[in-house]
Structure formats: structure tokens, C-alpha cells
A and B are shown apart, each in its own frame.
Chain A
Amino acid sequence: MSAEAHYTPYHPKWYRRRVSVWWWLQKGSYTTFVLRELTSVFVAFFALVFLWQLRALVQGPEAYAHFLVRLKTPLFLTVNSVALLFVLFHAITWFNLAPKAMVVRLRGRRVPDWIIAGLNYLAWLFLSGAVAWILLRG
């Protein structure tokens, strides 16, 4: 390998690799991350449905009944189920990551991650239970 140099010495020729537009398919954790970010779309979707529901409520019982009928169509049932899965994924990943941002120190030791995450889950269960009780009671 004693080739003569065929260029001007001292000229740096760094090679910059291009990042593929499919970078997020190269690794499982990257794909999970992108799906997690996409859940925001479905959260927004649920917010819009909720606003629609409120509007229907304001417009009176007929409009609300019409709203309920639309919600029961196969298209909406499918879309809502998919959205629900994504929103659940959103909540679970959020709670699991919460301890990273919230460092709580008690008596000089850091509270373990699973406790912080666990407390979030418990609060979620409690609030969901309370809301369900209020809605289904009467």
C-alpha cells in the first residue's frame, strides 16, 4: 500500500453520511418513539370529538341524539377504538417516563422510579373510577 498521494496534501476531506428519511424504521426503540409522538394526533382527535359532543349538547336533545347515532356507526367505532389504543399508549408511556423528569428526594435518597410511576397510575385509576361512578350512578 505504498501508493503516491494523488491530491493536494493537508486538504481535509471528511465524509458526511446522509441520514435516511426512514431512520425511524432502523431500530425498534426509534419506531416506538415515533408512534408515541403520533399519539398526540389521536389525543387532539379525542379533544375535537369532545368539543363536538359539547356543541351537540348545547344545541338540544335532538342534536345530541343525532350525535350519538353518528358515534355508533361502524366507521366511528373503528376510528374511536384505534384512537383509544393510541391514547392508552400515550398515557402508559407518559407515566413510565414521568420519573425521569420528576426527581423526588426523601431523607437524602432518591425515591425509586417505580414509585413515582406507580403513584401516577394510581391517581389515574382513582380519577377514572370517580368519573365512572359519577356518570354511571344515575
Chain B
Amino acid sequence: MPPTVTLAVTRYRPEQESEPALQNYEVPFRKDWVVLDALNYIKDRRDGSLSFRWSCRMGVCGSCGMMVNGSPKLTCAAFLSDYLPGPIRVEPLQYFPIVRDLVVDITDFMRKLKQVKPWILRKEEKPLAEGEYLQTPDQLDTYKQFSMCINCLLCYSACPVYGLEPSFIGPAAIALAQRYNLDSRDEAAPERLEILSEHDGIWQCTFVGECTKVCPKNVDPAGAIQQYKLTGAAHWFKSLLLPWGMK
């Protein structure tokens, strides 16, 4: 085990520089340190001007996503020991505009999330006094996986379609739409289908499958999208063959 390891970190200070560049920092090596700990060491002891996002340090808030040696990772779950001997390249999440150093702008995703109507939408609400909607454990299981998304956006950074066509609605937004479509309490699946059948919706996806590979919570957005395509195609056929049967 070496005593130190080198990190090559993207620095971009828009007030001084016109483009980002990598800067080397030497940090102590510890078996239980992750890349995020190394970044905090740099900020506390070497260079207080390094900006990055982080919060929970346990993989549930989704703040600390960055590119580590070219792959999108949660830096709180990327052990330095897995990247020896280094140098370890730490760059901002791919396919997002860089605001500063390792901070990217995610307003595009926030807008797309709202577009897919990620909430329970019903024609009629049950009064609170009547208690909870019944939902069996099996019904919960059908959408549970897609509800685990922490909005870390690693999937967007892994998706070449998003990189080439930034208008693509993206893996996480579609997975969250599916989460509500499959929730037995929701009734807005047709409405979401209309939104997601448009040009920048599910049909932009060519099933590269990288999103599922990098997802730290096993949400399987690629699976969500392909299943949605099946539903979408079936719906289209039905509307073609039985137009009077559709609501």
C-alpha cells in the first residue's frame, strides 16, 4: 500500500479561465478512503477553492456523482484502493454543462422530471377518512425497483444518446414515469404515454444499456424503457385495430 496517491482533478474557474484543465494533487492513501474523502482533503488542506457537491457520504442523496477514470461513479462509493496505482482522473459528470470545477448544471433534468408528471394522478381521490389505498406486496413489487432512483444522474452521463441529442428525455425520467405507471394507485399511464411517445421520449433510446450498468441503486432504467416501448407499441396497435375500444 503506497503512502500517497495522485488525483488529476478538473479545475474550471470561469472568471479566470476559458476552458477546463486537469490539475494534479497528491493525497494520503488510506484503505477506507474514497475519492470523495480525497477531494475533501484537498479542499481542507491544499486548495480551498476546489468546488464539488456532496452531502450524505453513504450513497443515498445522489449529490456526489463525477467521472472517475472516465466512468460515472458516486465518489462516496469509489475506493482509492480500486484505482491504484493512479493517477486517478476526477472530472465532472459527462454530457452536462460545467458550471465550476466538478459542479455541473442539472436544470435540464429537473425540467424533464416535471414533464413526465411523476406523481399519483387519479380521476377521483379517496377521502383521507377512508384510509389507505390497498396495495398488496406483489403490487408494490411491480414498481418498487423503479422507485429506488436517487436522481444521481450517472445514467445520463453514461447514455451516448443523451450526449449526442441533449433533448432526449433520458433514463431516470423515463424510469420514474414507469414507476408511477406501474403503481396500482395511479391512473395516468395513458397521459404519460402521450408525452413519452413524442420524438424525444422513449423512441430515442436505442438500448445501449450503459445506464443500467452504471446505476448505483439497481434501478435498471434500460429495462424500464424497453418495457415501456412494448407497452407503447401494443397501445399503438390496439388504437389502430380497435379505435372504438380506446378511452
Q: Which residues of A contact B (CB under 8 A)?
A: 1, 3, 5-7, 12-17, 19, 23-24, 26-27, 29-30, 33, 37, 97, 100-103, 105, 108, 110
Does B138 contact A108, Cβ atoms closer than 8 Å?
yes
A19 neighbours in B (Cβ, 8 Å) = 95, 160, 163-164
Please judge, given known A-B contacts A19-B95, A30-B208, A101-B226, whether A3 and B163 are in contact too, CB under 8 Å: no
Q: How far is the CA of A7 from the CA of B15 in the complex (A)?
A: 6
B226 neighbours in A (Cβ, 8 Å) = 97, 100-101
Give the interface SS of chain A, mostly helix, strand, loop or mixed: loop
Q: How far is the CA of A105 from the CA of B141 in the complex (A)?
A: 10
Q: Which stretch of B36-44, B79-87, B97-105, B117-125 is in the interface?
A: B97-105
Q: How far is the CA of A110 from the CA of B182 in the complex (A)?
A: 15
Does A16 contact B97, Cβ atoms closer than 8 Å?
yes
B70 within 8 Å of A by Cβ? yes
B209 within 8 Å of A by Cβ? yes
Does B209 contact A23, Cβ atoms closer than 8 Å?
no
Does A5 contact B15, Cβ atoms closer than 8 Å?
yes
A12 neighbours in B (Cβ, 8 Å) = 14, 99
Please judge, given known A-B contacts A23-B160, A30-B210, A97-B207, whether A17 and B98 are in contact too, CB under 8 Å: yes
> 18 other contacts beyond A29-B208, A105-B142, with CB at 8 A cut-off?
A6-B15, A14-B14, A14-B105, A15-B14, A15-B20, A16-B97, A17-B95, A19-B95, A19-B163, A19-B164, A23-B160, A29-B210, A30-B210, A33-B210, A100-B220, A100-B227, A101-B230, A103-B227
A100 neighbours in B (Cβ, 8 Å) = 207, 209, 212, 220, 222-223, 226-227
Q: How far is the CA of A91 from the CA of B48 in the complex (A)?
A: 54
Q: How far is the CA of A24 from the CA of B210 in the complex (A)?
A: 12
B94 within 8 Å of A by Cβ? yes
Contact of A37 among B19, B105, B206, B212 (CB under 8 A): B206
